[in-house]
């Protein structure tokens, strides 16, 4: 899946930030195949279990499993072996876990059986709910932009397929890692949307114009009264950004 081959529907990943299977089924139906991939996060996995992956796939969607793995290398490797059996398209891991954890994760996925989908391994950098003041309190020596750049470089060197970061870091990461390194951008809102608990946000057009391959949108779509219409609005913004290229 090269970046140049991504269509607008491939680039928009809708996050199912719900806790019940009925809600998942309802959202899968209302999104009605407008996008290629849906994101399943910790709330769903812990509420329902990994079998929810098959529910989403039964509607024809790919799955981004936002597992945010962060543990000692052996534990993460074991988790990825199990995740590999789920045939998801993407899985996330924290870049702060260290070189051994990251390289071990890459090795584990590459050793998966050939008849299974080898998911893209995406490194979470600095959460978009954090800003410089938060990092300062946590003891970081650098601001969020430089911290993200360091972690993105670290991920690329370890062999990850890409990273998750805010739109504000996309251009510099793209310069540093090249066009074949995937960049996934959460914290995406339309101008009229509520920011919620995010601190580093951007519009879909801005994120894609800067070089993001994928944008992740949750509540702005899933809590909209017209879910299909909301998806279409985001897709329109993405297409506009691609034309701007």
pLDDT digits 0-9 by tens, 110-142? 888 655 678 999 999 888 788 888 888 988 888
Task: Select the more confidently predicted residue: 189 or 233.
Answer: 233
pLDDT band at 96; cut points 50, 70, 90: very high
- The three-state DSSP-derived secondary structure of the chain is CCHHHCCHHHHEEEECCCCCHHHHHHHHHHHCCCCCEEEECHHHHHHHCCCHHHHHHCCCCEEEEEEEECCCHHHHHHHHHHHHCCCCCEEEEEHHHCHHHHHHHHHHHHCCCCCCCCCEEEEECCCCCCCHHHHHHCCCCCCHHHHHHHHHHHHHHHCCCEEECCHHHHHHHHHHHCCCCEEEECCECCCCCCCCCCCCCECHHHHHHHCCCEEEECHHHHCCCCHHHHHHHHHHHHHHHHHHC
pLDDT tens for residues 48-67? 999 999 999 999 999 999 99
Mean pLDDT of the chain: 89
CA 74 to chain centre: 23
Contact 154, 95 (CB under 8 A): yes
Q: Tell me the catalytic residues.
A: 68
Please determine, for residue 3, whether its predicted confidence score (pLDDT) is greater than 60. Answer: no
Please report the domains of the chain, with CATH numbers, ordered by start residue: 3-244 (3.20.20.70)
- Give residue 179's pLDDT: 86
- Give residue 19's pLDDT: 87
């Amino acid at each position: 899946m090269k970046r140049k081959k991504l269509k607008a529907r491939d680039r928009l990943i809708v996050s199912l930030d719900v806790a019940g299977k009925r809600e998942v089924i309802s959202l899968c139906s209302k999104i009605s195949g407008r996008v290629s991939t849906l994101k399943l996060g910790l709330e769903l996995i812990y509420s329902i279990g990994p079998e929810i992956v098959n529910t989403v796939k039964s509607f024809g969607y790919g799955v981004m499993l936002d597992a945010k793995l962060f543990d000692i290398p052996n534990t993460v490797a074991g988790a990825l072996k199990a995740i590999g059996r789920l045939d998801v398209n993407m899985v996330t891991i924290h870049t702060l876990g260290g070189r051994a954890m990251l390289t071990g994760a890459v090795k584990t996925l590459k050793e998966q059986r050939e008849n299974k989908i080898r998911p893209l391994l995406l490194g979470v950098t600095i959460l978009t709910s954090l800003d410089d003041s938060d990092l300062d309190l946590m003891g970081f020596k650098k601001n969020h932009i430089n911290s993200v750049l360091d972690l993105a470089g670290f991920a690329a060197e370890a062999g990850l397929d890409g990273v998750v970061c805010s739109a504000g870091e996309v251009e510099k990461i793209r310069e540093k890692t090249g066009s074949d390194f995937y960049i996934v951008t959460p914290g995406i809102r339309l101008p009229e949307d509520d920011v919620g608990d995010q601190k580093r946000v951007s519009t879909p057009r801005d994120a894609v114009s800067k070089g993001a391959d994928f944008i992740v949108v949750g509540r702005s779509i899933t809590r909209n009264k017209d879910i299909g219409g909301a998806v279409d609005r985001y897709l329109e913004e993405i297409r506009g950004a691609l034309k701007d290229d």
